[in-house]
Amino acid sequence: MKKTALLIAVLLLLTPFISCKPQKLPVKDVKIIRQDGTEFTVAAEIAIKPEDRNHGFMERKTIPDGTGMLFIFERDQLLSFWMKNTPHPLSIAYIDSKGKIRNIFDMNPYSTDSIISTVSVRYALEVPQGWYKKNGITEGDTVILP
């Protein structure tokens, strides 16, 4: 009986830390300015905490056009993302600390292949696959960060 009570007490104490459902992330408008001056806005969920960045879009079956997730890191570094447990195809832009898009890659659902930035960057912006191409957004364009 004591072991059961102790186990229940430990589980109750740990529940806030082991919740399977991620917290609802804040959403901010992220502006992208193409080199020709054309502007686009993405309503991006902001992932700053490691647990939010690690979870990303996992388990999300639909991600509407014009939305995305902005991953913010503490320092410039080579970033690596994968699509484990992510059913929706995505495109990722790796962005340096000055807001310049350095790489854009497409990512396939459920793939465990690492998609690695070619240079050190501070941010990553995931959107539905093909959104960058459809809007003519390319490497060298600028992201105005919230």
State the pTM of this model.
0.84
Per-residue pLDDT of the chain (146 residues; tens, 9 = 90+): 544 443 344 344 444 444 444 569 999 999 999 999 999 999 999 999 999 999 999 999 999 999 999 999 999 999 999 999 999 999 999 999 999 999 999 999 999 999 999 999 999 999 999 999 999 999 999 999 87
Residue found under tokens 């647990």: 51
46, 28 Cβ separation under 8 angstroms? yes
